[in-house]
Amino acid sequence: MILAFHQIFPFYEQLPTEPRGRYVPLNGARLFGRARILISLFLMLVVLSGCVHQKFVSEPYPRWGDESSISQSGGNVPLILRTLVPPEPAKAPACVLLVHGMNEHIGRYGEVAHYFARQFFVAGFDFYAHGLSNPVLQQADQSLAEGAGKQEVGDAFLAQSLLHDLEPLRRTLDLALKQTITLCDAQSDSKRPVFIVSHSLGALVAASYLMQVRNEDDPAKRVRGIVFLAPAFAVSEPPGWRGWVENPLIKLSFYAETHFLYPQNEPLPLLIFNQLFSLITVPLLDGMFEVFSWPGLRSFLTPISPGWVTDYLTDSEAEKAHLRADNWIVRRSLLRYVKGIEEEVVRFRRKMDQFTIPYYLVYSEHDPITPAWGNEDFSRATLKNYSDNAVLALPNLHYHQHLFLKEPARTELLMKIEKWMDHRLRTL
């Protein structure tokens, strides 16, 4: 859903000399002044949140399953694929590839992998710059395995320096998917269908990857369904006092990016304004976020993940404590990377109606990390594309990581996902 113009940014204000309720447009000077104040407040928050950040790991990376190593080009560390097989591998009806979200790692998904491995061949991997695909974290894990003491990993976020967009993550997904198919086929004489179970940013990466034009013999053609768990089809809406400060700038940037060189059948005066506004705003913010990601500046201008994020991930206090203690999770995000994600969301939304892979979409109606309106827009545009498409909107829930909810909700959701995949297998 594209928000109404006045919802994106308060371009109207009530003048004290006018009768109550009468609004007049802000002039250019006032508009610029308000934008400057918002940007200044944002920069202050960034500086305060990024001044000091030390992080250590003292326990080995949480492994599960068997490991296979995949060489990567460009000097990147090898990609490690984790796999689990059911008790009778040859009878597994399908392969399942688990895809994690932003700044986390696949090691967290051990219990989820074991659940699906009761009947499916299951695989998982760490995205580029995440988990053991991050050179800082991989080196720390090797040092711990060799008997060294705790390792400092506060600079793990610097592996994001090349992430202007999500293409490196899509390449990682491509390698993992191909290796998953190869290993899965080796367990059977037939070519079994593949399902992807994806979360948050990983869902956006997977969705945009599957929409790329491909040859008929491409392994991605083997994907017969995808599960979207709280997919990143919208920009975040921080709650509380942070929202009062940050949301206007987030919405301002998203609105400008949405209209940047992309007319949307507006009336001509609004079209001209939107294009002029975006032609000024988008290059300004792109340049600002790029400069803040340069060496020397990024060490104190890169924000640390705020505490409220953990509170909205799960309703399990035990899982929240585990999240706070898990330093294999990258706690900082280069602003260049954050801006690139926003641009990817905008690009995906422009063509999301062309998504034709059968899906099962799960989201919370009050999730501030990936707000419901992005999922509602996606389902409205694509639900009719395939008869097996299904949506599970969780009312009155604001938690983001559905696979880590308290019991019995967690197992009930896993059962629903498994049931949907079984239904897809019967219809193939």
**Are 187 and 202 within one domain?**
yes
pLDDT digits (tens, 9 = 90+) for 47-104: 444 445 689 999 999 999 999 999 998 889 999 999 999 999 999 999 999 999 999 9
CB 12 within 8 A of CB 24: yes
Kindly indicate the confidence band of residue 29, based on its pLDDT and cuts at 50, 70 and 90: low
151 beta partners: 57
174, 244: one domain: no
Checking if the pLDDT of 45 tops 90, the result is no
Whether the pLDDT of residue 34 is over 80: the answer is no
Percentage of residues in the chain having pLDDT higher than 70: 88
Using CA atoms, how far residue 131 sits from 63, 141, 317, 428, in Å, is 11, 10, 23, 35
Per residue in 311-366, pLDDT tens?
A: 999 999 999 999 999 999 999 999 999 999 999 999 999 999 999 999 999 999 99
How far CA 289 is from CA of 156, 242, 293, 294, in Å, comes to: 19, 19, 6, 9
- pLDDT for 21: 38
37 & 124 share domain: no
Q: How far is 216 from 218, CA to CA, in rounded Å?
A: 6
Structure tokens given for 256: 């400008």
116 and 71: one domain?
yes
Q: Tell me whether residue 398 is in a domain.
A: yes
From the CA atom positions of the chain, what is the Rg in Å? Answer: 22
- Report pLDDT for 40: 56
Within a domain: residue 16?
Answer: yes
Task: Note the pLDDT of residue 327.
Answer: 96
Residue 360 sits in the same domain as residue 292: no
Looking at the fold, whether 173 and 314 belong to one and the same domain comes out as yes
For residues 264 and 393, membership in a common domain is answered with no
Max mean pLDDT among 98-107, 185-194, 212-221 falls in 98-107
pLDDT attached to residue 219: 80
Dig out the tokens for 16 from the structure: 């004290």
Percent of the chain predicted with pLDDT > 90: 80
Based on the fold, state whether residues 363 and 218 are members of the same structural domain: yes
Cα separation, 299 vs 289, whole angstroms = 14
Name the pLDDT band for 6 (thresholds 50, 70, 90): very low
What are the C-alpha distances in Å from 51 to residues 64, 332, 407? 35, 12, 38
Residue 362 domain-assigned? Answer: yes
Distance CA 345, CA 356 (A): 18
Regarding whether 78 and 17 lie in a shared domain, the answer is: no
Q: How many CB atoms lie within 10 A of CB 175?
A: 17
Residue-averaged pLDDT of the chain: 89
Identify whether 164 is part of a domain.
yes
pLDDT on residue 307: 87
Domain assignment of residue 338, yes or no: no
Based on the structure, what is the number of domains in the chain? Answer: 2
- The amino acid at residue 64 is W
Token look-up 């909810």 returns: 405
The average pLDDT across 202-219 equals 89
**Residue-level pLDDT at 41:** 54
283 and 370 share one domain: no
* 293 and 313 co-located in one domain: no
Q: Identify the pLDDT of residue 218.
A: 84
Question: Can you give the pLDDT at residue 286?
Answer: 95
- What b-and-e string marks burial along 404-428, b requiring 16 or more CB atoms within 10 Å of the CB? bbeeeebeebbeebbebbeebbeee
The three-state secondary structure class of 299 is helix
Q: Is residue 336 part of a domain?
A: no
Could you tell me if residue 337 is inside a domain?
no
Model confidence at 1, pLDDT cuts 50, 70, 90, reads very low
By residue range, what is the domain housing residue 289? Answer: 5-51+239-301
Tens-digit pLDDT profile for residues 288-316: 999 999 998 998 889 899 889 999 999 99
Q: Which two tokens stand for residue 207?
A: 């969705």
Query: Do residues 379 and 407 share a domain?
Result: yes
0.85 surpassed by pTM:
yes
Nearest in space to 260 (alpha carbons), one of 250, 275, 271, 248: 275
pLDDT at 109 exceeding the cut of 70: yes
| Res 186: pLDDT | 92
Does 176 reside within a domain?
yes
CATH of the domain at 205: 3.40.50.1820
